[in-house]
Amino acid sequence: MIETGLAGKVVIVTGAAAGIGKATARRFAQEGCKVASWDVTEAEPEAGGIFQKVDVSSATSVGVGLEKATHALGPVYALINNAGILRDAQLVKFKDGALTGAMDDDQFDAVLAVNLRGVFVATRAAAASMIQAGAGGVILNASSVVGLYGNFGQTNYVASKAGVIGMTRVWARELGKYRIRVNAVAPGIIDTDMMKSVPEKIRVGMNAHTPLGRMGQPEDIANAYLWLASDAASFVSGAVLSVDGGIVMGT
């Protein structure tokens, strides 16, 4: 068994009320971490941890949440930027030469606010806290295979997840001197509530391109986060780890 070196460490997991976030909070708690679970939806905390209602797109909400988390649990060692939303639509949609639909500004802005700005806001606050504590740390960001390859009907989501990869690489360069490692995980098709909003024909098509022949489970991503946060990955920074069953994205 790999020794993670994480027992007793304080970990913040955003989007922790359900799906990948909940599985991640549970996995780190199982490893002996003190977990602060953040979400805009109420949820029960993991054993030995706390739940906080935090909106990652709000600097004020994040600041208050971080202050309370460190007061209750101690200095933060790892931040898992997992929170994310979908608002899918085609850029423009035509039928018989007439415009019948388009992605509107609200759909675009809502996804960028949570998936991209939220990662920026939470990381800015957590990184400052880690530097002040002087013990190093880990920041892990949720990207997606679509951030690497694109996907039909997801201009906003793809933009946010590609942006997360870019920020991850910048921060790995900027924060390395403080012994803070920054990496991203790019999940493929994961069996979560979020997937229920994806049209069935798209889900079937995406599954057909997964060589392992199944959807991933939230625990698959939680285990990837755990490894990247652990001492076993102590020389890994600026990386994007695809956890996708070998999927090849298509249209």
* Residues with catalytic roles: 157
Letter for the amino acid at 60?
T
Buried residues in 68-100 as b, exposed as e (16+ CB within 10 A)? ebbeebeebbbbbbbbbbbbbbeeeeeeeeeee
The residue assigned the tokens 């039909």 is 152
CA distances from 199 to 105, 114, 207 (A): 22, 22, 12
Three-state SS at 3: coil
DSSP string over 195-226: GGGS-HHHHHHHHHT-TT-S-B-HHHHHHHHH
Beta bridge partners of 94: 99
DSSP string over 58-121: -HHHHHHHHHHHHHHH-SEEEEEE-------B-SEEEETTEEEEE--HHHHHHHHIIIIIHHHH
Q: SS3 helix, strand, coil % of the chain, rounded to 5?
A: 45, 20, 35
